[in-house]
Every structure is written in C-alpha cells, then in structure tokens.
Structure 1
Amino acid sequence: MKNLMFALVFAGAVSSVNAQTETKEVKNTDYNKWSIELAGGVNKPQRPMGSGYFTSTPSPYVADLGVRYMFNNKFGLKADFGYNSFEGKSNSANFDTKYYRANLQAVANLGRIMSFETWTNTIGLLGHAGFGLAQLEDQNSALKDRMGNFMAGITGQIKLSNRIALTGDFTTILNAAQDATFDASTTRNARGFSGILFNGTVGLTVYLGSNEKHADWVLDNNSEIDKLKQQIADIETSMLDTDKDGVADYLDQEPNTIGGVMVDTKGKSIDLNNNNVPDELESYLLKTYGSNTDKSAIVNNSTLIKNLINEGYVSTYFDYNKSTPTNVSTEGIDFILTYLRNNPSASVDIIGHADELGRSEYNDKLSTARANSVKDVLVKANVDASRLNVVAAGEDASVAKDSDAARKLVRRVTFRVK
C-alpha cells in the first residue's frame, strides 16, 4: 500500500507536466474531459479508537461526491467531498461521530497506462491520491476535531455506455494531527499521520460533454485505427464489381456493362466494328433475329434498339431509400439521352420502381421521386421536358422480399420509348 501511495503522489506531481509535454498522448481532443462521480458504501476506522470502542467490520456508511477533469486520457485532477458515519456495534460502548472531508486529488488512468484495450474495452482502472482537510464531530458533545489528511485509492470501472460507468473503489485515508479518537472518547495532542480509515464504495460516474466518448475510454492510437479501418473500407469499396463483368469498379471504364457481355481489361464491352452494340450481343441478335441477307438492317434498326429499351435492358439503379441514381448506373441515362438525340421525334416514359420494404404509399412516392430525378438529369442535358413522361410503378414484387441482393434489382428506373 505504501508503494502505491508514493506512486500515486508522484503521478499527481507530474500530471500537469505530462499534460503539456507528453508527446505520445492522444492528438485528437474530440473527447469529453469532465465527469461527476457519486458513490456510497462502508468504512472501517482503524485507529485511533478508545478502549472498549469499536465499529462493525465493515461499518455503514460512507458517501462520496466528486468532480473530475482529465487533461488527457491518462492524467487528471478531481475535487471530492466525503461523509462517514461511525457508530458502536452492539457490544461496544455507545458513540455516534461523523467525519467530513474535502480533498483535491491527482488521477491516473491505469487502464490506459497498462493498455487494458488490448484485451477489453469495457473495463477500466483509475488510481487517485491527494491531500485535503477533514473534521470529526461528536453528535453527543461539542467536540470538533479539525485535521489534515492524505488519501489514496483504486477505482475499478465497468463502462455501461459512453455516458455512464459503474465503479467500485477502495481508499485508504491517513489523518494528520488527529487529536480525538474516531469514537470521540479520548483526546490527545497528536502529531503526524496517526489516524487510519478505510473506505469501500460502489457508485456511478456520469460523463459530461457533447462528444461521443470520455477521455477514460479514448485510446492513444484511436485515430490511427480509424484511419486503417477507413483505408480497408475504401479498398473493399474499390474492389466491388457492380456490373459483375469481372473488372473491379475502380478499374472499370464502363461500370454498367450489360450482364454476360464479354469485356476487355478495362471493363468495356468489346465492339470491334464500333457500332455501339457489344459484339457478343450483336452476334446473338443476328443469330436469333437476322437473316443472311439483311444483317446490317437488324443491327442498325432503331426499332430493335427501341424494343431492347422497352423490355428493360436499359435501367438506372438506386440505393435503398434513395432517389439519386448510384454513381455506377448513370450509363442507362446516357443511353436514353443518346437515343433521344438521335431520334428527335421520340418521347419516353420514365418508370420508377421501388422494392417491397416499407409502406406501399411511401414506396409510390419514392418511385415517383426516382423517376423525377432521372427526368431532371435529362432536362438539364437539354432534352425538352415535353418529351419526358414520369410514371410511378410503385412496388416491384417480382423478387423475394427477404433477399437484399434481389431487392437491389428492382430499385430502379426503366424506360418505355414511344
């Protein structure tokens, strides 16, 4: 215990220096520093006690109130006030005394110093030590014994939330110049730290401030960990292959390739004759619909392109509960824009769809908003608004409602050329 006391006193002496000179402390100050501590429990006055006077072991009761400020996630100060009640147990001479104290203590976050975060993020440990003033009062006489004190203790923490922690504390108090015994039966002319009192309490710490976490639970390398997590998330995002063509999005120069069409190393559908129809799709169309004498007419026939559009091969997709097209699905809008520019007499229905999650009335509004969003893009691309007709198709129940992957396919806008 003596070694602990000296260690905590030393920590208190250097805490303010550490707050200014420690180069390895948390650089990010976006955490709360203030807290209020409430606790209650039992005590045991050890000495001095009069002959024939003693309390229960342990003896009720003690109450503590503290206000703490942390300079960083390792060191801080707290002002606290305590109240102890001492009464004789059944076979002791009767007495009733009260002990009041006020202390200023240095606080060391031993959980952070000893890197508890390597094995837990919910258990903490604080050490505290400091000096203060105290007064012992006898309820059966006018005795009031004023004294100085030194106290040191250990506080265990269990984080219940970012705002509250459950605490358990054990503290030793040494009284200096305590002239009266704790039972007030005897007075003397005392010198030095001759009085000893033990307290054990359970309580709550309430964290104050607008930030998410308190300094008690902030890690030295927290910002570095966040950066690494973000980098990993960015890599995972960049490796997505939205159009399933085998080329990651960050390399894909054609992020909305028609499914199943062969692409080159840059994710672009192969179109050797540059007629804007992927060779693989062109080959299928010629084989299925063309004749040996009229292949070019099939490929260049605007009616065929119109049928492809009307059958849903050209679409624009949306994220859940969003009315703005995803970045990788604007190719469908570009396709329609090109078609309308090449066919100035054509008009188009812009048909909005939504998945089945949520209320039907809301999904009707969402499908309308999606269609209007696409219309706005086309209008800003100088397509006359009179050529664009918004249609709300509402919920699309053609896929399994409990499949997230399937629902992505129906959160879309399709087109119908007229």
Structure 2
Amino acid sequence: MKKILLTLSAFALTSGVFAQDVTTTSTETSSSDYNKWSIELNGGLNKYQRPATSGYYTATPSPWNADLGVRYMFNNKFGVKLDAGYYNFTGHDDSMDFDTHYYRANLQGVANLGRIMSFETWTNTIGLLGHAGFGYGQLKSDNADFTDKMFNFMAGVTGQIKLSNRVALTGDFTTILNAKQDYAFDGASTHGGRGFGGILFQGTVGLTVYLGGNEKHADWVAMDSELKKEIDALENRLATIETGLTDSDQDGVADMFDAEPNSMAGVAVDTKGRTIDRNNNGVADELENYFETKYGDKGTSSTAGMDVKSLINDGYVNVYFDFNKTQPTTESASGINFLVKYLKANPSASADVVGYADEIGNADYNKNLSQQRANNVKQILVDAGISGSRLNVVANGEDTSVNKDSKQARQIVRRVTFKIK
C-alpha cells in the first residue's frame, strides 16, 4: 500500500510539469477530436482509522459521504481534477454519542490507467482511473465548539462502466491522509501528532457526465486507433494517387490528368490526353490522314467521314471479350471511343451494336451471352453521352467463321461490332 501511495503522490506532484510536455505531442491526435471536460458526482460510505477516542466508534462502514468534482483531461491518458467532499461521523450501538463533520477540497492529478494498459484491446465499456493529490480539510463537531484545520493527501482508483458517450457509471475507493489533525475524528479528544496521523477510507459509487460537442470523451479515445485511422487515410490517399498515375490508354498522360483516359492506342494526344482533332469531325487527325490516304479522297472531309463509316461497318472497329465474359477487355475500349466520337460528330447517325460469342458451349447460352455483351457496350456508349434511341442491340450468337479448336481464333469472334445507319 505504501508503494502505491508513494507512486501516486509522485504522479500528483509532477502532473503539472508532465501536462506541459504531453501537450507538445499533440500530433498523436487533434485536441478537437474528443471532449476533455467532465463533472463527477459520487456518494457512499466511509471509515476512519485514526485518531479515535476510546469508547467512540462508528459503524463499519459508516454512512455517509458525498463529493463533487470537475475534471479536465490534457489527452486520453492524463488530466487534473478539482473536487470537494463532505463526510459525516456518528456514534454506533454502544459508542458514546457524537456527531462530527469533515469537509475537504483537493486538486488531484488523474491517470487513465485503462488507456495506459490498453483496455481498448479487449473492451470499449470498462475503464480504470487513478487519482492522487493534495488539499485542505476541516473537522467540526455538533458536540463541541471547534474547527480543526488540516492539510491532506488522498489517492485512489476509480472503475468505470460506459453507459453512453455522455455518461459513465463509476465506483471508487480512496484513502485520505490528514496532516496537522489536532482532534480525533469523533471530536472527543485531541491528538498530539503533527504529521500524517489521520487516516480515512471512503468507498463511493456515482456518475460521470461528459461535456463537449464531440462524439467521445478522452476517457474512451484510444490514440493507437486514432493513429491507425490517420495512417489508413494516408494509405488511401497514396493508393488514389498511385491509381491516378497509371496510364490506362498508354498515351503518355496519367489518368488523373487525362481528360480522355480511353483514347485510341497509338494516336497522338495533347498535353491533357485528348485526341488531336483539329477539324472537330470526331476522328483523330492522325487516323483521318491514314484513312484518306489508304481508302478515300484526301480532298474532302466528307469523304473522310464516309471512309470512317465504311471501316466501322466493314468490321475494322471491334470490342473484344475474354472467354465467357460480358465486360470488354481494357485494351479494346478504344473501339467504343472511336464510335462515340463518330456519333457525336454525326448527330443524325445511328448504329447497331452487334454481339457475338464463340462456338464453345450451348448455342442458346451463347446467344444470351452475345446479347449481354452488346447490352453492356450499349450502356457504355450511353454513359459516354450517346442517346440510347440511336443504338439498336443485335444478338448474333455464335460466330462460326473460325476454327473452333483454335484458342487464338476464338478470341477474334468474341466481340461486339457496329453497323452505322
């Protein structure tokens, strides 16, 4: 018991200095993340040990005492509180009659032992506080005219059960040592000792009410979990940046800066990843020049438009799928973008979206598979700004034009193609 009292005493003496130190480490968590103030109301039983007059004694334990305190936490582990208490002592059974009253006021340091010992690893509703400090007290008697003034040291432990984020049920056991106590607790005799000669024990139950606008009080905030939240948030931000730095369409512009993240592979883009289309006809200049040179009349843009339409209708623009999948491969998404650009440049045009499957499996299943593929490509076109009324889904089922036993050939026919009208 002496070791415990000495330890808590040392803590009480150094709590002010330590409080200045811990406030400098606020990087653990923001002080605005939790409430710091609370009000504590307790009542219970007591028992004094000495000094006592022979023939005078109280019940064991003796009713009653009450105390009221205000507590402030610097962080989730350490704080201070100011509290005041009242104790009544009366004779019991064969004792000589007496009625005395003890009053005290104390400033104490508080240590959240539950957080220090990481209670949060196994419970979020049970806590433990340690407290110790010095104060001033007075003893008065109804049977004699005196006021015995003294100093005291007190230390104790408080168990907590969290009822809600605003209220906790508490149970406390505290030892009080009085210095310079002249009278016995019963008030019937004087006591000659000038040191810590008075000993009083108290046991109380009560409520702690938490004040403040945040969700939780410092009593129930685990710094490790708060730090983990911050780390998780930073990791999510890094993951977002890493994802944004990928270049899905391999045009040399990271996705997070790419205004057109699905531009056609191999086509020149500007600094924002947009396909270069100086005449705004919906076809990349680089492709347009190629098409005009190879297939059409280089002299007119209308001819170029016809060439693009012919290429689409002749099956040069396709969207491909992996085996038994209904979502297009990332590599072939540029085919969809190609049609998007054409339809936006030609608002009167419409298109059939034609789905195919390979010959592996049941014919009815493959018919349905080709339908789903075409529907999904249509939805991507609609999401890209093309009206659904301009798109007609056609399910052509199995494409039998390739060698069924060739894995590479079957890849070619698992597709969606387009017919511009």
**The TM-score by the shorter chain falls in which range?**
0.5 to 0.7
Counterpart for residue 5 of structure 1: 5
Select the residue among 34, 40, 43 that pairs with 1:31: 34
Partners of 1:267 and 1:90 in 2: how far apart? Answer: 97
Note if 1:190 corresponds to 2:193: yes
Residues 262/202 of structure 1: CA separation in 2 closer, same or farther (3 Å cut):
closer
Counterpart for residue 108 of structure 2: 105
Letter in 2 for 1:280: G
Residues 273/201 of structure 1: CA separation in 2 closer, same or farther (3 Å cut):
closer
Select the residue among 198, 209, 217 that pairs with 1:214: 217
The alpha carbon displacement at 1:143 in A equals 2.3
Counterpart for residue 42 of structure 1: 45
Partners of 1:75 and 1:103 in 2: how far apart? Answer: 17
Counterpart for residue 20 of structure 2: 20
Note if 1:332 corresponds to 2:382: yes
| Identity level (%) | 54
Select the residue among 135, 153, 158 that pairs with 2:156: 153
Note if 1:96 corresponds to 2:171: no
Select the residue among 75, 80, 83 that pairs with 2:78: 75
Q: What is the CA deviation profile of residues 258-286 of structure 1, one whole-angstrom value per residue up to 9, with x for unaligned ones?
A: 996352145849779969766535999xx
Partners of 1:282 and 1:269 in 2: how far apart? Answer: 20
Letter in 2 for 1:218: V
Partners of 2:76 and 2:332 in 1: how far apart? Answer: 49
Once the two structures are overlaid, the 10-residue window that deviates more, 74-83 or 263-272, is 263-272
The alpha carbon displacement at 1:120 in A equals 1.7
TM-score normalised by L of structure 2: 0.60
Letter in 2 for 1:215: A
- Output aligned runs, 1:326-365, within 5 Å: 332-334=382-384, 336-337=386-387, 339=389
- Output aligned runs, 1:91-170, within 5 Å: 91-170=94-173
Residues 266/133 of structure 1: CA separation in 2 closer, same or farther (3 Å cut):
farther
Which consecutive unaligned segments of at least 5 residues does structure 2 have?
A: 241-255, 263-319, 343-350, 365-373, 393-421
Q: Number of aligned residue pairs: give it.
A: 291
Select the residue among 73, 87, 90 that pairs with 1:87: 90
Q: What is the CA deviation profile of residues 202-233 of structure 1, one whole-angstrom value per residue up to 9, with x for unaligned ones?
A: 01111111111111111122332224555798
Partners of 2:172 and 2:39 in 1: how far apart? Answer: 15
Partners of 2:159 and 2:76 in 1: how far apart? Answer: 16
Tell me, yes or no, if the aligned pair for 2:353 and 2:377 is still in contact at 8 Å.
Answer: no
Which consecutive unaligned segments of at least 5 residues does structure 1 have?
A: 238-249, 289-307, 316-329, 344-418
Once the two structures are overlaid, the 10-residue window that deviates more, 210-219 or 79-88, is 210-219
Counterpart for residue 294 of structure 2: none
Partners of 2:174 and 2:337 in 1: how far apart? Answer: 83
The alpha carbon displacement at 1:188 in A equals 3.4
Counterpart for residue 207 of structure 2: 204
- Output aligned runs, 1:234-245, within 5 Å: none
The alpha carbon displacement at 1:19 in A equals 2.7
The alpha carbon displacement at 1:173 in A equals 0.4
Residues 118/273 of structure 1: CA separation in 2 closer, same or farther (3 Å cut):
closer
User: CA-atom RMSD, angstroms?
Assistant: 3.9
Tell me, yes or no, if the aligned pair for 1:41 and 1:200 is still in contact at 8 Å.
Answer: yes
Partners of 1:16 and 1:146 in 2: how far apart? Answer: 26
Partners of 2:109 and 2:25 in 1: how far apart? Answer: 20
Residues 331/57 of structure 1: CA separation in 2 closer, same or farther (3 Å cut):
farther
Partners of 1:267 and 1:180 in 2: how far apart? Answer: 96
Greater Rg by CA:
2
